[in-house]
Each structure stands twice: as structure tokens, then as C-alpha cells.
Amino acid sequence: MFRDKDSIVVFVLYIVLSVSQGLLVTATKNANGGYSFNFTTVVLIMEICKLLVSIIAFLMHNSILSLQREVFKNIKFALLYVFPAALYCLYNNLQFVNLANFDPTTYHILLQSRIVVTGFIYQIFFAVNLNIKQWISLIILTLGCIIKQIDLLNIQQLSTSTSNISYAILLVLAQVTCSSIASVYIELLIKSKDKQVNIWLQNIFMYTVSIFCNLIVLCFSGSLSDIISLDSITSIFQIPVLLIIANWVGLGLITSFFSKEP
């Protein structure tokens, strides 16, 4: 299953960071079940941080001129990241919305549905037909993950901001769908040109487009001017929120390496 010790470390880090993310976001909720900060701004800062890390990592083995040359050389390839970046923008923002509606345990239970959804999307993108045994295995795995964690009473612990349980679950399914399509699509991109395009350069493409997507969300929500306000800056630069950003940056970078694995 694992090729070397580094693969094991990456896998463990992925699990730890993934579980921690839900707990950290929940910890920042206020007494009303919402957030005292603009979470789209937090997502924007997170994408900027990932972009800076990717640029630094690329420049550790390449020159600035090489970065400029590679960007212009692969500009058409970079445009292919618009679609998954938009999906991840929606996914990241929905994470805050859904964790405002559900406790972390229930949230992660509902997220297990992405195992089956990803299998379905994978079959479409890679033109690979999963057989009956593989589908049964995916369904059993999903049910196993749910049964292992499930606590039906948690479903009743929706915040007062969302009285319609069906609508809240639909938002989680939308988040799951965005994640599944985007992850399979990016895996297809990475593996299609992984010998020609550096992984850090591909991350640069992804995070640059993601930044623009979040700026568009802020613009349409009328919050673009608020990102430089003193109140907004003060609400974000608190330890719990900064931990969310740091955890998310690590999770995003590790996920990109998972996609590159053969």
C-alpha cells in the first residue's frame, strides 16, 4: 500500500490535518452558531499562503527567470485549472457553512458519501468501468465509515440558523460533489503532463486561479472592501483563525502530492 516511509508520513499527516480542520473551524463559532469573521476572506488568505509556499518551493530549485518562462510556456495548461479552482472555492466556503449547521462528527459522517461519488466521477473521467465487486466494496466502505462514527442524535443538533435538515444535508452533498469532481479532474491534469510540468508550478496555477475565484465571491457578496478594514483584520488575526489557515495550507499541499501518486 505504501511505497516508503515518506508515503506513510504523508498519509498520517493528511488524516490528522483533515480531522483537525473540522474541529478548528467549529472552535471559532460564536454563541449564535456563526462566525465573527468573514470566512471567504479566510479562504482567500489561505490560498495566498499556499501560493507563496509553492512559489518558494519552486524557486528553491529554479530561478525566477525559469518560473517566468515556465508560466508563459504552459499558460494554456494553466487555464485548465479554472474549473477545479472554482469548485474548490465553493467547497472551501461551504465547509464553513456546513460546520455552522452540523457538529464535526455529523459533518464528517455525511462527508463519507464522497467515497461513492468519487468512484462514480473517477469512472467518467478516466473511462474506467468499475465492476460489481468494486462498487459493492465502495458502498460497504462508505457504510462502514458511517456506522463506525454514527450518532443519530447529532442530526438533531442543527443550529437555529438552518431549520430545514434536508436543505442542510443538500449543502453537504453539494460540497461533496465539488470535492469529488475537482479532485478527480486535478488528478487527470497532473498525470496527463506530470513529466513536463513541475508539481509546484501546477500548484501555482491552481492557487492563483483560486485567489481570483474568492475575490469574485467577495465582490458579489459586497464584502470586497471589508477585507482591508480594521475590524476584519482584527477578527482574522486571532490564534484560532490562524490555526485554521495554517492547517488548511498544510492539508492543501499534501493533497496535491496524493493526486500525483501513481
Mutual orientation of helices 5-27 and 104-111 as an angle, nearest 10°?
A: 130
Find the helix or strand (DSSP H, E) in which 146 lies.
helix 132-149
d(Cα 51, Cα 207) in Å, to the nearest integer? Answer: 5
- pLDDT tens for residues 199-255? 888 889 999 999 999 999 999 887 777 777 778 788 888 898 999 999 988 888 777
Higher pLDDT, 88 or 222: 88
pTM, entire model: 0.80
**Banded pLDDT at 94 (limits 50, 70, 90):** very high
What was the pLDDT predicted at 159?
47
**Banded pLDDT at 54 (limits 50, 70, 90):** very high
Beta bridge partners of 29: 35
Q: Is 244:25 a contact under the CB 8 Å cutoff?
A: yes
pLDDT at 86 over 80: yes
Higher pLDDT, 91 or 17: 91
- pLDDT tens for residues 195-212? 577 888 888 999 999 999
SS3 content of the chain, % helix, strand, coil (to 5): 80, 0, 20
pLDDT at 112 over 80: no
What was the pLDDT predicted at 151?
47
Q: Is 72:200 a contact under the CB 8 Å cutoff?
A: no
Q: Is 100:35 a contact under the CB 8 Å cutoff?
A: yes
Residue 163, burial from CB neighbour count under 10 angstroms (0-12, 13-18, 19+): exposed
